[in-house]
Copies of this chain bind each other. A is one copy, B any other.
Amino acid sequence: MMPAQVRLETDEQEVLAANQAFYQAMEALDLAKMEAVWWHEEWINCLHPGWDLISGWEDVLESWTNIFRSTVQMRVKVSRALVHVLGDAAWVSCVESVTSTYESGFETAQVETTNIFVRRQGVWRMAHHHTTPLPGRVPSGTSQSVQ
């Protein structure tokens, strides 16, 4: 991104940066940041762990509003990120290790995720988020402290 240099990053690096920005918005519980990483279109989709599919930016934004409102802290570690770029579309397969803290306690989950990104005028943003909690790896953490 330095003025004297062009294409410092490969497409794959740019997509992984967009993927990371999404998780930073989650960790920050910051709606403005979350708004900035998605395309605001009717045809976008979001499947939160344990939810039904949500379609359309308006409803997706509402879901993040509710999640952020009910969450005290969220920590996400992303691993095994596989990225594939094809033109102005790209998808990332990754594993999220999520620890969510609520007023009543906390829970941790391993989540297998597909994130699809779309590039417009050089900018990659999320168009599709699909999560699957991995069975047998969702320990209940209510008897431990997250600190």
Q: Which residues of A contact B (CB under 8 A)?
A: 43, 45, 47, 50, 52-53, 55, 82, 84, 86-89, 91, 93, 112, 114, 116, 118, 127-128, 130-132, 134-135
Contact = CB atoms under 8 A, between A and B. Distances in A.
Count of identical protomers in the assembly:
2
A4 to B, nearest CB: 31
Query: Which of A43, A132, A135 is most buried by chain B, counting CB atoms within 10 A of its CB?
Result: A132
B130 A43 contact: no
B114 A130 contact: yes
A53 B55 CA distance: 25
Contacts of A118: 86
Contacts of A132: 47, 130-132
Contact of A87 (B84, B86, B112, B128): B86
